[in-house]
Amino acid sequence: MPRIDIKIVEEPLKKIMTFYNIKKMKNILKSMVLILTLVLFNKSAFSCDALKNVKLGEDFSKSSEILDFIDTHLPENYNDGETAVYEASTADYCPDMGLENTTLKVFIYDSKIAGMRLETWDLALQKNEIYNFVKNYYGNIGEKAKEKNWTGFENLSSGGYKLYYAKMLDNDGIIGGVVETFDISTEELMNYTISEDIVEVGE
């Protein structure tokens, strides 16, 4: 029986194994990239366009197609330094986001979108809707902020945007409770969303 040279057999086997290992790794990497892409796409696809596509600091008219409740804004009706605040049901502009018991407020200063705010509408029905939305789409704000009687704020600011989640005690004239808010603005415009010269336009 002829003698088989082990080295001659080993070399091709090593090459074959290396080839299949590389191929296997490539398939794993492709799968990981596909999964990551789907996760990111789905998160983006189901986030709120009204918040995602409105550019802060731009003229309000550029966002009036997305937020049609601000299209009646007339800058000449406001004095210098005044900020107009328009309000609508968040669910009309962020459907299927679990924000049915919240309002969406838009701050317009000097014809620019100065900021936006999500706020609890009915204190009696406050169920951490804004907490869950912020946690899912903007970042982890910790379990403590989920507690019923917790009050305070969490700073999630990033990339030039000022992002603040808060809970505070409030009274709507009928009952008292904890109101949730989530503010989106920039360092340049934030003060115009909390100044004393704010004019509530309403829904």
Report the distance separating Cα 127 and Cα 130, nearest Å: 8
Residue type, 68: D
For the chain, the average pLDDT equals 83
45-55 per-position pLDDT tens digit: 345 878 889 99
pLDDT at residue 180 tops 80: yes
Instruction: Report the percentage of the chain scoring pLDDT > 70.
Output: 74
- Assigned token pair, 6: 């082990």
- What band does 194 get if pLDDT is binned at 50, 70 and 90? very high
Q: Which residues contact 118 (CB under 8 A, 6 or more apart)?
A: 90, 99, 102, 103, 104, 105, 130, 133, 180, 181, 182
Which residues are CB-neighbours of 87 under 8 A, at least 6 positions away? 69, 103, 104, 105, 106, 200, 201, 202, 203
Chain position carrying tokens 């003060």: 191
Domain boundaries of the chain, sorted by first residue: 1-45, 48-202
Q: What is the pLDDT of residue 8?
A: 54
pLDDT at 124: 86
| Beta carbons within 8 Å of 7's beta carbon, 6+ residues apart | none
Single out the residue of 171, 119, 166, 172 nearest to residue 145, CA to CA. Answer: 166
Distance CA 154, CA 175 (A): 25
Max intra-chain CA distance, the chain:
104
Q: Worst-scoring range by mean pLDDT, 25-34, 102-111, 167-176?
A: 25-34
pLDDT tens by residue, 48-89: 878 889 999 999 999 999 999 999 999 999 999 999 999 999
Amino acid sitting at position 150: W
pTM, whole model, 2 decimals? 0.75
pLDDT value at 186 more than 60: yes
Torsion of CA 186, 187, 189, 194, to 10 degrees: 100
Q: Is the pLDDT of residue 121 over 70?
A: yes
